[in-house]
Structure 1
Amino acid sequence: MSNTNKDVVLGWCAAISVAVIWGVTGVVSKPLSMAVDPMTLVFFRYVTAVIGLSVIFMLTYKNTKINKELGHSLKIEKSDIFKIAMCGIVGQGLFSLFNFLSLGHIGATENGVVQGMNPFVTVFFGMMFMNFRMNKVQWGAFLVSALCIYVMSVGPSNKVEGGQPWLGYLFVTCSVLSIACTAHLRASLAEKYGSVVSMLMQYISVAIFGLCMVLSMGLDLSQITIILSDPLLIFLLIFLGTGISGVSYVIQLYSFKKIGVEKSSLSLNLMPLVGYVVAVVALGEDMSFFKTAIVTTIVVALYVFNAFDKKETQPTTQEKPVNA
């Protein structure tokens, strides 16, 4: 195998790894959200993420080959502090909080399917504020996906004891809106400061915000003992905070370099399918032809949507579209 072919294979492996890591977010979060209240879990998650990204920064900031993309300084301009705080609190904090809340009402399968709508919602915000446009094929892909979400919401779904499915779908929709509305701003900050530095600062802001909320609400931080007493929960928290919120970005950057942003981003279309399969295997959620058909249709629609975005859709300004 030539070095070029090897690089391509490694690039695709990295891209698919990111899709798998992000695709299992709902599955990883489910046991944690059942053990700890959502707001306190948000705080625990981002404290773990801050520790993980701090380690990554310390290992990479002197490496001139990669610190241009990851970041080489923690110095942030005053004019960007509010932007970073908003991306952290809204794009990360509220995203996680609503996501955790939804898992008390719907299964990880349903959660993952709605989270898979992120690219659509991101482009909608781009249309509203960045002069992006969708072509007819993309509109068709979006409408098919939206119909699939509706059919899943009214069809047979995984039952959660004491849960209200409609409330779960509302929470996960708010979660998607939270992260999608900050996607373009997060991308600009990452380009300016580097992906690791930008995300680290966002995680610090949401960790501080989370601590303030936990203390003001009188929540019990000793809940961490629940996690520390269970090796599985410890692993899930570390994976959620450091793996999903940290290492995955470095892996994604590697895939960008090997196969390009477009091809790497297309692999993220697999996320709903990954979440569905893992939820069935790991959590014992129902597997049916009905759900399989819906998830597969959404994956195909996502592929069509993103493929046509790269080939045909161009913004009316000099800005380029940014995937979440």
Structure 2
Amino acid sequence: MNGDVLLTCPDLGLPLVHRGKVREMFDLGDRLLMVATDRLSAFDVVFPTGIPGKGRVLTELSVLWFRATESIVPNHVVTTSVAGLGLRPEHEALLAGRSVVVRRARRIDVECVVRGYLAGSGWKEYRQTGAVCGVKLPAGLSLNARLPEPIFTPALKNDVGHDENVTLDEVARRFGQETAFRLRDLSLALYRFAAERAERAGILLADTKLEFGWDGDRLILIDEAFTPDSSRYWPVERYRVGEPIDSLDKQPIRDWAEASGWNKEPPAPPLPPDRVAETAARYRSVLERLRPVLS
């Protein structure tokens, strides 16, 4: 395994608050240390093989987007430095570039999904109902068609298994109308900003998911922002309406898994080296394209 791959964190001498599919959260008192590992999940299952450099790509890209969008909504980032946390030198070196100290926030359990194009599960739902999460769309749209306007299609978060797509009305019923409308409006504003910046870099932001939390009575952006793990990125030169598009993310892994005969239940099988290398290259390419328009 490549020496840059961090599948699980070592014992940092800090209490582990949460272990997600990709990130691990450690207790710093009034703050948290968020570490992006190189783990990869597909079909809600974590694979035993990591993607070299993935955690560092996710961290740098998120931080660039957090900084670029601060005028739209504040976020949870305090610092990207791990100095002064009492870590051993070897742990500081291991975590550098893949860790962020963040504010504690009360997470709102809604995946704030924004779609600018008709793809993925949105396309499947549209074919069945003519709508996505209760948002009625024009008839006759094709796969990957650009929507007249970006739409907010939330989902209730589920840390085990699939998130549940719901309507804006259901979000309002659970979390209050004012919160639901703020989540929608902020998500759409962030998507429009990010889509415009990405297009400057030759990338189409087909859809994305965002997370928000409460810092006191202040709504802030948390978790990650516009990474290939949370966003569907298409190179402009590959964009086609009506046929599948090879996106700049873990699509090589999804394709291999679909063809492998694996039943999509744990445990996941080891990944072939060529698919690992191709996926790592795609993650790097997104960062390399976007860095100039975000720095």
- TM category, shorter: under 0.3
Whose strand fraction is larger, Structure 1's or Structure 2's? 2
Q: Which has the higher contact order (CA 8 A, sep 6+)?
A: 1
Higher helix fraction (1 or 2)? 1
Question: Given the two structures, how large is their TM-score scaled by the length of structure 2?
Answer: 0.27
